Amino acid sequence: MRIGRTGHGIRSVVQQTVKGKRHMSQGKYNVILDTLPKTESRLEVLFRQGGDGFIQVEYGREQRAALQDSFRMLAVNDIIHAKKIKGLIETVPGLRTNLLHFDPTVVDVPTLIAEVKDAEESMPSVDDVVLSSRLIHLPLAFEDSETKRAVEKYVKEVRPDAPNVIDGYNLEYIALCNGVSVREAKDMFLGTEWFNSGGGFWPGGAFLWPVDPRCALVVPKYNPPRTWTPEGAAGIGGPCVFTYTTPTGGGYQLFGRTAPTFQFSMKHPIFKDGPFLYRPADRVRFHEVDEDEVLWVHEHVHKETDYEYRIEEGKIVVKDYLAWLDTDEVREGIKEQNARREEGVQKAPRL
């Protein structure tokens, strides 16, 4: 396929994809290098070209937010690292993906894929997975003045008519999209642990997903994004919560502010071994505080360096989690919340 000045080639690919008649993997530019077939306990595994020194391992061809995919991906990631593959530089696990960074002058693509396949086949069932998982307790001040200032700046400088800003903030919009009240939305943020599928997007960041799917909130991201977000801001995009590690731009709907989770200077004892608080497979539990307490925490992390983070060692027994997930109570709760969300989406303005 040749792409000319008119861009017909690009439009053709888009049309074919939308109509479902053809996938990119079947065209001239095939980025899927290899696959492993679907099994009873695992989706099809795709190996995608990610550049000269990168391969992306992906579970399934359809996007889904299912923690069992992340549980398996992280367990396989541990097996990959235990192999000590010469030429493998680092891995970046996600919810249903793992990006492998390697040195192509040391290890070739077929060899690396064969090693990952061996790791996958050595763990036949996700039910067997037991993950080490710390529980991190973090304070959360809803509707604090700093994140409100970020929203105010956005309305003033970027999008004055932003429909996701109601009464000067995003919480009302978050609630509206999910068919709940603001208080119910707050209780959902507080009512579950949030599982970190892996770091990415921004140094020290964590992609946090609700362990209890009955507390899942889903919202679109800013359109266009913000130019400024304060350190410690807590936001949600899609079903994923993110706590901002440094002042930066951003597109997640803001709902409050929490403790620092990154320190470049590494002065505080919690950061003595590295600037990041989060690790893959961590769980976060928020507890509500007022803004003064969050400001005090920031002062005592960055200046006084005497704030004591509350972190508990623990494990996730996947078999037990999946059994709980399949109970009538949980399945009914998910069904009810999905129905409320469908109703809310019809009322919420589009971004």
Tens-binned pLDDT, residue by residue, of the chain (351 aa): 333 333 333 333 333 333 333 444 455 778 999 999 999 889 999 999 998 999 999 999 999 999 999 999 999 999 999 999 999 999 999 999 999 999 999 999 999 999 999 999 998 799 999 999 999 999 999 999 999 999 999 999 999 999 999 999 999 999 999 999 999 999 999 999 999 999 877 889 999 999 999 999 999 999 999 999 999 999 999 999 999 999 999 999 999 999 999 999 999 999 999 999 999 999 999 999 999 999 999 999 999 999 999 999 999 999 999 999 999 999 999 999 999 999 999 999 999
* Cα distances (angstroms) measured from residue 249 to each of 105, 167, 291, 321: 36, 22, 22, 36
Torsion, Cα of 207, 211, 215, 216 (10° steps): 40
The torsion defined by the Cα of 16, 19, 25 and 28, in degrees rounded to 10, comes to -10
Tell me whether residue 4 is in a domain.
no
Residue 262, domain member (yes or no): yes
**Cβ–Cβ < 8 Å for 143, 256:** yes
Would you say residue 172 lies in a domain?
Answer: yes
Both tokens assigned to 90: 């680092």
Residues 317 and 194 in one domain: yes
Please return the burial class of 94, using the count of CB atoms within 10 Å of its CB with bins 0-12, 13-18 and 19+.
Answer: buried
The Cα 149–Cα 147 span in angstroms is 5
3-class DSSP assignment, residue 81: helix
For residue 249, the tally of other CB atoms under 10 A from its CB is 14
Number of domains in the chain: 2
Q: How far is the C-alpha of 132 from the C-alpha of 281, rounded, in Å? A: 7
Which tokens is 171 given? 């919480």
Residue 28 and residue 63 in one domain:
yes
DSSP annotation of 39: B
Interatomic CA distance for residues 131 and 210, integer angstroms? 17
* Structural domain includes residue 5: no
Contact 48, 56 (CB under 8 A): yes
Q: Are residues 144 and 60 in the same domain?
A: no
In CATH, what number is assigned to the domain containing residue 146? 2.40.100.10
Q: Is residue 1 part of a domain?
A: no
CATH number for the domain spanning 108: value is 3.30.1360.40
Question: Does residue 242 belong to any structural domain of this protein?
Answer: yes
Which domain range does residue 167 map to? 135-347
Last residue of one domain, picked from the residues 92, 126, 160 = 126
Examine the domain organization and report whether 81 and 208 are in the same domain: no
pTM for the complete prediction? 0.90
Give a yes or no: residue 144 inside a domain. Answer: yes
Residue 220 preceded by cis peptide, ω within 30: no
Residues 6+ apart with CB under 8 A from 62: none
Residue 49 tokens, joined: 């070209």
**Cα 172 from Cα 80, distance rounded (Å):** 44
Contact 282, 133 (CB under 8 A): yes
Question: Which of the listed residues 108, 126, 144 is the one where a domain comes to its end?
Answer: 126
Same domain, 278 and 160: yes
Residue ending a domain, choose from 126, 150, 165 = 126
| Same domain assignment for residues 78 and 210 | no
Residues 99-128 pLDDT 10s: 999 999 999 999 999 999 999 999 879 999
Neighbouring C-alpha atoms within 13 Å toward the C-beta of 170: 32
Q: Same structural domain for residues 318 and 244?
A: yes
| Number of helices and strands in the chain (H, E) | 9, 17
Same domain, 294 and 332: yes
Per-residue tokens: 178: 């999910």
For the record, the structure tokens of 211 come out as 């362990």
Structure tokens at 108: 């070739």
Answer yes or no: are the C-beta atoms of 166 and 172 closer than 8 Å: yes
- Enter the DSSP assignment of 11: H
Q: Residue 75 CB: number of other CB atoms within 10 A? A: 19
Same domain, residue pair 86 and 206:
no
How far is the C-alpha of 241 from the C-alpha of 310, rounded, in Å?
Answer: 20
Are 189 and 290 in a shared domain?
yes
Establish how many alpha carbons lie within 13 A of residue 165's alpha carbon, considering only the half-sphere containing its beta carbon: 22
Q: Determine, yes or no, domain membership for 263.
A: yes
Asked if residue 320 and residue 200 are part of one domain, the reply reads yes
pLDDT digits (tens, 9 = 90+) for 233-280: 999 999 999 999 999 999 999 999 999 999 999 999 999 999 999 999
Q: Closest Cα to residue 156, out of 148, 177, 233, 231?
A: 148
Which pLDDT score is estimated for 35?
Answer: 97
Q: Are residues 120 and 51 in the same domain?
A: yes
